[in-house]
Structure 1
Amino acid sequence: MDVIDRDSELTVFGLPAEQGRWLLIPLGMTILLCLGSVYSWSIFRKPLENELNISATESLLPYTVALVFYAALMPIAGCCIPRIGTRIMTAIGGIVVGLGYILSSFTTHIGMIVLTYGVIAGTGVGIAYGVPMAVVARWFPDKKGLAVGLTIIGFGLSPLIAAPVANYLIGRYSVRLTLRILGITFTAIILGIAIAMKLPPQDWCPRRIAVPVSTIIPSYPTHLLRSQSFYGLWVCYAIGTLIGLSAIGISSPVGEEMIDINPRLAASSVSLFALFNGVSRPLFGWLSDRFKPHYVAILSYTLILIACVLMANAQKGQIATYVIAFCLFWFCLGGWLAMAPAITLRFFNPDRYVQNYGIVFTAYGTGALIGTLVTGRIRDWFGTYVYVFYLMALLAIIGIVVANLMLKRSDRLYSQ
């Protein structure tokens, strides 16, 4: 084994690259925190309903459209980043997100808000979302899952920070001025950090990484869509997000209807759930580095099954059962949002990570769309949410089978 010193001269923020690269994680986290504010739309809904005299369904449209455009722009942005560059792509995304918020503050019709917030801001999120993870993954070839998991915490925890700030600003000023302030702030922050979103030199590794004299290079599938591993990952990711996003959507109403807890307590418990959603991301990223991905996927589905059993048998007044079950649901959703990029890096060519993950991310959009539609239908058909958990349990079992059979890659290596 030879020990190669690869970064004796390279520096990041004036520090040796091996040390300075750690500063990219909080910077990427901050970008994702700004982008994740899209999940705080509920704070704006009631003031806009009163001001524009619109229904609850209409006030939900900007958020729904934003999620659709966010998911749709991910694969497109992934193909553009290699040509445009990570720093310019981050700046474009930040400007578009900020523009969406600022234009929303001047609109007086819900249709225009759907366009400005849903289409424009959602597009900006999709453009910039993948860049911090791509940059961090390239700077941490030795800790990809952990580094990506830490970075993506920003997106998951954003509502815990953005929602209270937005609520305070709305109370102090107005909903429109709040949108304007947030738009300007997000643009300034993302533009400032965009300068740092630079990839390392090709094939860069931390210093003193022991490698064999004859370099061993893993063989990756030539075509993503022809790989069984891709379809295994896509199905598993879709199931994980379908269950997780469905649980997020029904967290408060399930607490009120099935457990009969106070509406204010049901709403405040969401903050606890969001904390579990954020904490799970670096943990599952770290697990994805250490263990075979299908084992980690099976672990997440097993936790989901436990949560489903708890809720399927829950009785009124069993607050602890409700809290534990939904902490597990949110925990596993955060886990999949870290696992999917980590597994994409592990199974497929890291040099094409942004393009590859953009395609894999379509599973998220599919899971989000199906999950929100199906859970509402089940509640309408049966008059209770309890049957939702039977469906989730069935999907988790299917996920275990798919993960065991298809969420694997060939470990063949070739020498160069």
Structure 2
Amino acid sequence: MFDRAKQILIAGFCINLCIGILFTWSVFKKALVINLGWTNSEASLPYTVAIITFSITLLLAGILQDKFGPKLVLITGTIFAGLGLIASGYVTNSTQLIFTFGILAGGGIGFSYACLSPAAMKWFHPSKRGLVNGLITAGFGLAGVYLAPLITSLIASYGINYSFNILGVALLCIATPLAFTITNPSENYVPVSSASAVKKTEKEVIIPQTEMCWTSMLKTSQFYNLWIMYLCASSTGLMIIGNITSIAAIQADMTDAAHLVVILALFNTSGRVLAGMLCDKIGGLKTLSLSFVLSITNMLLFPHYSTHISLIIGMAIAGLCYGTLPAVFPSLTAGFYGLKNYGTNYGVVYTAWGVSGFIGPVIAASAVDTTGNYQLAYFYSTIIMAIAFVFSLFTKNPKKQSQTEPNVMQTRTKKATA
């Protein structure tokens, strides 16, 4: 069974490597503007719509996969994503690309992404949820590292239209077959911790698992705490991600900062794995608190990053902090409200990310339009992250119960044999 669990984990990672194409849009945008003469607004709209569609369909897919299982929803998602990319190769204007990439591909990516972490977590012991989420989502973050140069090469060789076609066919050929392998374990499957397998006689601390539906989740204060923390942290992360090259040009007079995108992607990926491991060791809320403190410090220092080296450091820290979010928040959602309705529950929590997609860019645009630089954006982001940090300190597990008796299992055994 453990081998099957590893297969699910690897397949999920590889699927995310394919659908992570969503965050390489800057490469497409550049080609649309330079090669086809589109305006920046026309070239940005398909991506904006894709982000919105991604958030909405992730919630819908969460509901469907809770009801029907992940395989069918995931297969549907990869097919729509592939077909959306292929269709994007035949468009002639922004309106058509909004539909093919923004709605078809964006929706397909949302459907696919929604199924991977829930399925993987059910195959592993709760003590490994953070690491599992970190590894699964690492594929999504790592995609930009290889896809950005690949897409650049394809566009240079075949043009943007054929590049969309090639990428769509590749996604269908790789991700869809892998989607057939993603399933939930049987109802009687019980994942075993490696530690408990080695030391069966050790004291067991039993934490009852509370299963909540989304309506019950909305009645808990912890949900709103999670939502606000996710909103604040992702707003800051997306503000930096969406303005990397502009920040480099203004603060360090760098005309070519494309390599910073790769650096950010690498540390974003590393942050997901490291935060997942740390989450398993010290808990999700403590991991978030550490990340928020690091992010606050980074935002305070960002106005002073005026050299190439200092910008690399700043981007690396921003990537690590942003990578913490997709690793920790799924684990907290599952830990607080259970796995039975996890797809729906996390879909509701994830709406915070969708809203942050508006807040981050607005903060940056307002700062630049008003002052000509990003210092005001850093100031606002510092305040936002301070709010997130306060919420991380006062959020408690709604169902956490500790068993302090030293011989819980022995007591149960005696009662059973009495």
Aligned-pair distance for 1:179? 0.5
Q: 2:269 & 2:398 partners in 1: Cα distance?
A: 28
Q: 2:67 & 2:336 partners in 1: Cα distance?
A: 23
Task: Evaluate the alpha carbon distance shift between residue 133 and residue 213 of structure 1 in structure 2; reply closer, same or farther with a 3 A threshold.
Answer: closer
Q: TM-score, normalised by structure 2?
A: 0.89
- Aligned residue pairs total 396
Aligned 1:50-65 pairs, distance under 5 A: 50-65=34-49
Tell me which of 51, 59, 69 is aligned to 1:85.
69
Q: Secondary structure at the match of 2:38?
A: coil
Question: What do residues 82-125 of structure 1 show as CA deviations (whole Å, max 9, x unaligned)?
Answer: 33321111110011001111111111121101111011111101
Aligned-pair distance for 1:46? 2.9
Match of 2:357 in 1: 368
Q: 2:332 & 2:146 partners in 1: Cα distance?
A: 29
Match of 1:173 in 2: 158
1:32–1:154 Cα contact (<8 Å) kept: yes
2:260–2:315 Cα contact (<8 Å) kept: no
The percentage of aligned residue pairs carrying the same residue is 28
Aligned 1:246-257 pairs, distance under 5 A: 246-257=239-250
Aligned-pair distance for 1:300? 0.6
Match of 2:50 in 1: 66
Question: What do residues 114-158 of structure 1 show as CA deviations (whole Å, max 9, x unaligned)?
Answer: 111011111101111121111110011241110111111110011
Task: Evaluate the alpha carbon distance shift between residue 215 and residue 324 of structure 1 in structure 2; reply closer, same or farther with a 3 A threshold.
Answer: closer
Q: Secondary structure at the match of 1:108?
A: coil
Q: Secondary structure at the match of 1:150?
A: helix
Give the partner amino acid of 2:299. Answer: C
Give the partner amino acid of 1:267. Answer: A
Superposed CA RMSD: 2.2
Task: Evaluate the alpha carbon distance shift between residue 410 and residue 30 of structure 1 in structure 2; reply closer, same or farther with a 3 A threshold.
Answer: same
Q: Secondary structure at the match of 2:341?
A: helix
- Structure 2 residue 35 is the aligned partner of structure 1 residue 18: no
Match of 2:291 in 1: 300
Task: Evaluate the alpha carbon distance shift between residue 66 and residue 213 of structure 1 in structure 2; reply closer, same or farther with a 3 A threshold.
Answer: closer
Q: Secondary structure at the match of 2:182?
A: coil
Tell me which of 139, 144, 168 is aligned to 2:129.
144
Aligned-pair distance for 1:242? 0.5
1:52–1:110 Cα contact (<8 Å) kept: no
Match of 1:76 in 2: 60
- Structure 2 residue 372 is the aligned partner of structure 1 residue 383: yes
Aligned-pair distance for 1:20? 3.3
Tell me which of 120, 138, 150 is aligned to 2:104.
120
Unaligned runs of 5+ in 2: 413-418
Aligned-pair distance for 1:303? 0.6
Match of 2:347 in 1: 358
Task: Evaluate the alpha carbon distance shift between residue 352 and residue 212 of structure 1 in structure 2; reply closer, same or farther with a 3 A threshold.
Answer: farther
Q: TM-score, normalised by structure 1?
A: 0.90
Q: Secondary structure at the match of 2:145?
A: helix
Task: Evaluate the alpha carbon distance shift between residue 407 and residue 182 of structure 1 in structure 2; reply closer, same or farther with a 3 A threshold.
Answer: farther
2:88–2:161 Cα contact (<8 Å) kept: yes
Give the partner amino acid of 2:60. Answer: I
Match of 1:236 in 2: 229
Give the partner amino acid of 2:297. Answer: I
Unaligned runs of 5+ in 1: 1-16
1:219–1:412 Cα contact (<8 Å) kept: no
Tell me which of 182, 188, 206 is aligned to 2:167.
182
Q: Secondary structure at the match of 2:285?
A: helix
Task: Evaluate the alpha carbon distance shift between residue 298 and residue 215 of structure 1 in structure 2; reply closer, same or farther with a 3 A threshold.
Answer: closer
Aligned 1:271-350 pairs, distance under 5 A: 271-314=262-305, 316=306, 318-350=307-339
Give the partner amino acid of 2:87. Answer: L
